[in-house]
């Protein structure tokens, strides 16, 4: 399973095209699946108020929030799709 945790639909499409070009038989046989959350899944991280309990920069806090949401979606996807 390939998880693409990005909000840029062009980038997601590019990854899908690259996987399809390089692994067509694996995709066809269901050995590879590509999942990505819908656009609305991620909040606008610039508007999310956070508690900075680790002394991280705002960029790192946004990255960590997105990473945690991505892990949740990936776990959800592996359960639902299999």
How would DSSP label each residue in 10-48?
HHHHHHHHHHHHH-HHHHHTTS--EE---GGGS--TTT-
Q: What is the pTM of this model?
A: 0.72
Question: Quick one: pLDDT at residue 22?
Answer: 97
Contact (Cβ atoms closer than 8 angstroms) between residue 21 and residue 60: no
Q: Residue 82: its pLDDT value, please? A: 57
Would you give per-residue pLDDT tens digits along the chain (82 residues)? Answer: 888 988 889 999 999 999 999 999 999 998 998 888 888 888 888 887 777 778 888 888 888 888 989 898 888 777 766 5
The alpha-carbon radius of gyration of the chain (Å, integer) is 15
Which residue, 33, 31, 30, 28, is CA-closest to 16? 33
The predicted structure's pLDDT at residue 52: 77
**Domain residue spans in the chain?**
2-80
């Amino acid at each position: 399973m390939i998880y693409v945790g990005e909000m840029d639909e062009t980038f997601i499409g590019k990854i899908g095209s690259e996987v399809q070009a390089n692994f067509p038989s694996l995709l066809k046989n269901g050995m590879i699946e590509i999942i990505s959350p819908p656009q609305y899944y991620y909040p606008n991280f610039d508007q999310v108020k956070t508690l900075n309990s680790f002394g991280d920069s705002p960029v790192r806090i946004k990255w960590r929030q997105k990473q945690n949401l991505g892990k949740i979606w990936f776990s959800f996807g592996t359960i639902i799709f299999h």
